[in-house]
Structure 1
Amino acid sequence: MEWFRIPQQRVSAYIGIVLSAYLIFLGLSINTNENHWLNRLDFLFYDTRFNASLSLAEKIEKTEKKETAEHKIIILDIDEKSLADEGRWPWSRHKLAELITRLKEYGAIVVAFDVVFSEPERNPVADVKQHLSNNKIDWKAPKDWLEIADGDKNFSRHISDMDVVLGYFFQDQIDIQVGQLPAPSYQLTAEQKSRLVSITKSGYAANLALLQQAASGAGFVSNFTDADGIIRRSPLVIRHGDALYPSLSLATVMSYLFVEKIDIETLPLGNVEVMTSIIAGGQKARTDVNGQVIIPFRGKQHSFPYISVTDVLQKKIDSNTLEGAIVLVGTSAIGLADLRATPVGTQYPGVEVHANIIQSLLSGEFPYRPEWEAGLTLSVLVFLGALLSLLLPKLGPISSVALSSLTLTIIVSGNFYLWHVYRLDLPIASTILLILMLTLLNLAYGYFRENASRRLLKGMFNQYVPQAHIERMLADPEAYQFTGDSKELTVLFADIRNFTTISEHLSAADLKSMLNQYFTPITKIIFDHEGTIDKYVGDMVMAFWGAPIEDGQHAHHAILAALEMQRITEVISTEFMARGLPEIKIGVGLNSGTMNVGDMGSSYRRAYTVLGDAVNLGSRLESITKFYGAGILVGERTAELCPDIVFAFVDRIQVKGKDEPIAVYQPLGIESDVTAEQKDEIARFSLAYADYLQQDWEQAVSKLIELKKDFPEIKLYQVYLDRIQDLREQTLTQDWDGVFRHTSK
């Protein structure tokens, strides 16, 4: 029968190739029809893989007892208990205002409401007044009754007292536009208006203008289910008009990070432009072409701490429970209809969906489907289809099943590994279906032989398990010493002068607005010059260079940033004064030296920061800029590292708490930017300082007076004139070295 077997093998191979081509077509076309049966099959595989990965992660965590530093996110639950104690929903705006007061007292940082306040609350006093007026009865009640009873105004006042983010809905109906939208987080360019692919909505149900204007931000709470009714993805932005608006999760993170705008990374795709990432405050989230992220559920319901709202209102929780937390106000009550079907539960609170997204936005750990997924899927389908169509007809049944099982094991295991370790979402349904159908086809024909090499097949399939294309910082975490390192870095401290006086003359809202408008460009400058923001403390910003990314020119980049900060501050100050706000000036101190750098803090909150004497000296230098009338002061090690920068010598000092004196300099700019007049001034002061060291007071004073006459705006010369006057009245020792000792910090 050998003459009969050969044609049947060929027929089997031909049918296999045709079947492969059909499945390849299906595999590439399912994204155009989300309701396609193959896409639904992929949803099933996705959910299975997701829950298996969660179970494995929980077992590993229990075995190894690892503690991971996470941001403190707490869900304030309008649960059945709260409804029983506080009354049925909706609650009065006065009660919600009281809730904000309690949260502020407990130390919450940001409060986000997974609630929409699109309609005004009825004012009972206004109703009484209208009734009396309709019946021509005199209205004699105190005028402030209306104000006192106005829940919306009371709520808005409390909202403005802290960072509160409100929720709202986008809708498809263009004729539904209720309330006031927040300011958009991204304005589309002229080209993007016609090319950018995005989820677009024309209608909305937003919050009252009074409440929206008081809030620090707002984000949409609209979520979209897949064809099977399950939420697996969530948009971070939605387009309305010519702008992108953030989701509640993204808006909360923006408020937490003091960010007003986002950036998007896009990729040209034919005649359109598609989103690949959304960036907020340096935190990047990989998205699909529509700006959606895969929701990174970290467990079933209650994976985040839940606190009943009534316990907060009645002050029944510990005082430190909410300290430094991001608080999400939402509901798990069945009757309030905010329970969603998810891969980890069929009645999952919508507010906890936001919590998962916020945690990943802050950590930067989002699952994502890479841009090269379609190419990889096509390659795997073509390769497997051709290979199995040719090999399976030659194998016996046992070998055929073994080969297919091995192939499935490799494909499924590799897919699971890439998901569990690298968070790559690679669809697998079409590949599994191809293998199963080709195997069943060839089993039906009965033409199998055991002569294939498992090692060869395994080697061939391994080449389709590629290295992850992850962000630079996430591609190789071991390359970065987050646990602690000691290296030479440059630190910068910048502080607004006379900030206490300025703050006393501004309202809280004006002060917050002024600081936001100041910090935004200052932060951008630091980022543009490859710096790392350490922290903001009041009006002070601290940054450093050389970590976590190695930077051989850390001092150079830091000085250029400081010079640009001074320039932009003058521009900002001019704008402030034009609007009736106070003039602002900043002092900047920089120092280079060996510092300890790493991820430090508590189990509740950690920060990547620097410590050490060199850091403290940088802070001291900033604090004495006002004494010398200098915009920027740097230590001598910083000056040594920047031979291409022109520095003006300022003084040799000994700061409080230090024994060794150091030279202090003021950077003027790179060589080409410094004028001949400035260089002449530096030379003249050097001569005056030489006379000062020689105690030739007459010559020193004469030179300093001439310098002061030519440069009256420079405070430094008067500082030396006053110092010399004091020194003349003293009896100096023979080892006097001219060092000035600062006795205060």
Structure 2
Amino acid sequence: MNSVGLDPLAYSLRIGPGLSRLVLLLALALSMGLLWLLAGAGLRQLEERLGAQVWSLLPEQELEQRINIIAIDEKSLAEIGPWPWPRQTLARLADKLSQAGVSQQIYDIVFPERRPGDGQLVRSLRQGNALIAQIPLLNSAEPLRAGSMTHPLSGTRCHPALPISANYLASHQSLGELPKGHIAAPVDADGRVSRQPPLVCVEGQVYPSLALAAVLQAAGIERTGIRLEAEPGLLAPSWTLSLEAYPGLKIPLDAEANLRVPYQQAPAAFQYIPAADVLHDRIDPALLRGSWALVGVTAFGLGDLVVTPHGSRTPGVELQARLMAGLLDARLPYSPRLAPLYQLLLGLCYAGLLWGLAARRGRLAAWGLPLAALLLPLTALLLHWQALLSAQLWLGWLAPAGFGLLAATALGLLEHGYTRTERQRLFTNLSSYLPAEVARDIAYNQPSGSLEAERRQMTLLCADLRNFAAYGESRPPEESAALLHGFFIRAAEIIEAQGGGIQEYRGDALLACWPGAEAEAAEAALDAARQLQDMVQGLFVGAPPPGLEPLALGVGIEQGPVLVGSLGPAHRRAHSMLGDTLTIVLRIEKLTADLAQPILLGESAAASLQYQGLQSQGSYLLDGLRTPHQLYAPAQQEATGQHLRLVS
């Protein structure tokens, strides 16, 4: 099997960067769609939680004066007694509210049992223009039908989009004449309440929510002429609830015919008045006059607490207050039909931006793509928040944010892989021409126009093919090149096996080096020289062309300090090795022909070897130098020197 098919980076290099980016972006888009299908519930939960967080970060602080929450709180329970209170106490509370001049009393309370004083309570509630609650049990598997559901809409049929319930918890028939509204609300997977259906079907009848019933009653509208319809337009919601008698009120609903709870107001914007203060006349009637009194349980121990963007212990009665305020102001958040199109266009914009960043390569891609991985999701969330605050539009943000994050990360990794592959390729190519450390420095660092060199202790070996110029003059250049190529390959193998490295090739000669100027480096260089001589005698088999001397090899070895580095302008650098040691080893190699010795060592290298197995060849004044140098040759070369003819 072709390994390229198993390596995404190798495959992307094969098809080219442009096409590989396109394939990657398309694969990520498909992956996002698949992820949404497989883990949609968890992703929607995350989108809901962070998407609604702006309401808690930037809430509206203006005091809501139209609706007062009459709280059955801990203080009231301590003064009046434990819940549930006697009907007479509740009737007295309703009378107190009527005397204070409230325009409407709304009770977020269900009275499922018949109790003494029901008649008195009904009279007080009717006098106070009151509504009470009833609860269709949505998604309930256990059968429960307590009380009697009353006051459905007239002339409105159950629409297929409306939620249906066969179970309910309603008030007893003794309170059947009182207007009612339901307070059912689906709970999200994380325990939050973010939506409520304004209409619910129970046994073929359509019942309005408590908030909608309160608006209808306050406006004097009969419970008739209410339609659920789909309006055209990209900004329109999935469904719209309209009232014939109230043309200005259009309630936007989602695909499940739910109303999104408006959480834009801060909890402190709602006035909570303890019921005990009302019963004991500790409240200024002017505070209640003309307002709606929303009565509900807020005490912690009674369990009517829900999770909202503002906290995990929000009284359920506050949700009804928010729904009523949203209906009165016609400020209800909703998701328009264009939301999926908006997310698609935003994702395409992200893809184009990331494509452009990746195509620029270099530092822009190296810094821009990781930065985009952070900024693109944040931008999607901020755009969603801005639309929600300014226009009550829930556009969604998680799909483009997730795509932006994954695409920026994947393209960044792809570009990083490209860069590493290109640098590795550059390093590999450079190391074919230069020492590995020099190639690494060139591949991974910026060029400099300054002198960059350092003094090192090195062991140097210079090997030169003798008579190669005359040989090349009589043979085709291809043959000469093939011969020299074979020599350099075998020589490099021998030198590297001895721990050295090729510094450079000079025509038909090579310069090798070992780090350090100790005995180990000198021994390795001498072993390499002997193997080179054996290799040359096996490589150049056969008689030379007529009239030519046979090819041979001269090797010089010396140790000492050298200056290694790069010099020249930044746009044209050259790697160099300088110093007396280099000059000496080059001159020693030239003397191998004159002294008829295939291998010669300088006095520093010989001293490192303690002159063992070496014979002195005398002291010589090398070309270009003013100080004579003692030269040495391996003792075993005597016999070899008799049959080698070394010609300068």
Task: State TM-score, norm by structure 1.
Answer: 0.50
Look at both structures and tell me which one has the larger radius of gyration over its CA atoms.
2
Match of 2:226 in 1: 263
1:197 aligned to 158, 161, 170, which one?
161
Match of 2:87 in 1: 93
What SS class does the counterpart of residue 263 from structure 2 fall into? coil
2:67 matched to 1:43?
Answer: no
What SS class does the counterpart of residue 43 from structure 1 fall into? helix
Amino acid in structure 1 at the alignment position of 2:211 = S
Distance 2:265 2:417 in 1: 45
Give the CA deviation at 1:408.
4.3
Give the CA deviation at 1:376.
2.4
Give the CA deviation at 1:234.
1.8
Distance 2:21 2:149 in 1: 61
2:211 matched to 1:243?
Answer: no
2:38 matched to 1:53?
Answer: no
Match of 1:178 in 2: 146
What SS class does the counterpart of residue 228 from structure 1 fall into? coil
Amino acid in structure 1 at the alignment position of 2:57 = A
Where in structure 2 are the equivalents of 1:727-738 lying within 5 Å?
A: none
2:305 aligned to 305, 321, 339, which one?
339
Give the CA deviation at 1:250.
1.3
2:113 matched to 1:119?
Answer: yes
2:383 matched to 1:374?
Answer: no
Give the CA deviation at 1:176.
2.3
Give the CA deviation at 1:407.
4.2
Give the CA deviation at 1:182.
2.0
Deviations 1:381-405 (A, max 9, x none): 3554476457636542113235555
2:227 matched to 1:218?
Answer: no
Checking the alignment, whether the CA contact within 8 Å between 1:219 and 1:248 is kept in structure 2 is yes
Match of 1:615 in 2: none
Checking the alignment, whether the CA contact within 8 Å between 2:240 and 2:250 is kept in structure 1 is no
Distance 1:385 1:241 in 2: 51
Report how many residues are paired.
398
2:333 matched to 1:324?
Answer: no
2:351 matched to 1:351?
Answer: no
Where in structure 2 are the equivalents of 1:131-210 lying within 5 Å?
A: 150-171=116-137, 172=140, 175-185=143-153, 187-189=155-157, 193=158, 196-210=160-174
Checking the alignment, whether the CA contact within 8 Å between 2:165 and 2:201 is kept in structure 1 is yes
Match of 1:527 in 2: none
Distance 1:349 1:429 in 2: 29
Identity of aligned residues (%): 25
Checking the alignment, whether the CA contact within 8 Å between 2:145 and 2:169 is kept in structure 1 is yes
Cα distance change of structure 1 residues 448 and 405 upon mapping to structure 2, 3 Å threshold: farther
Cα distance change of structure 1 residues 439 and 307 upon mapping to structure 2, 3 Å threshold: same
Give the CA deviation at 1:94.
0.8
Which 5+ residue runs of structure 2 have no aligned equivalent?
A: 1-8, 420-648
Match of 2:281 in 1: 315
Cα distance change of structure 1 residues 434 and 81 upon mapping to structure 2, 3 Å threshold: same
Distance 1:39 1:196 in 2: 24
Distance 1:201 1:427 in 2: 29
Cα distance change of structure 1 residues 113 and 342 upon mapping to structure 2, 3 Å threshold: same
Task: State TM-score, norm by structure 2.
Answer: 0.57
Give the CA deviation at 1:22.
2.3
Which 5+ residue runs of structure 1 have no aligned equivalent?
A: 59-66, 122-149, 451-745
Cα distance change of structure 1 residues 255 and 4 upon mapping to structure 2, 3 Å threshold: closer
What SS class does the counterpart of residue 176 from structure 2 fall into? helix
2:400 matched to 1:436?
Answer: no
1:106 aligned to 97, 100, 108, which one?
100
Give the CA deviation at 1:175.
4.1
Amino acid in structure 2 at the alignment position of 1:266 = E
2:388 matched to 1:419?
Answer: yes
Checking the alignment, whether the CA contact within 8 Å between 1:93 and 1:152 is kept in structure 2 is yes
Match of 1:284 in 2: 250
Deviations 1:78-131 (A, max 9, x none): 01111111111111101111111111111011111111001111xxxxxxxxxx
Distance 2:34 2:341 in 1: 13
Checking the alignment, whether the CA contact within 8 Å between 1:276 and 1:286 is kept in structure 2 is yes
Amino acid in structure 2 at the alignment position of 1:51 = S
Give the CA deviation at 1:19.
1.1
Checking the alignment, whether the CA contact within 8 Å between 2:366 and 2:416 is kept in structure 1 is yes
Cα distance change of structure 1 residues 185 and 431 upon mapping to structure 2, 3 Å threshold: same
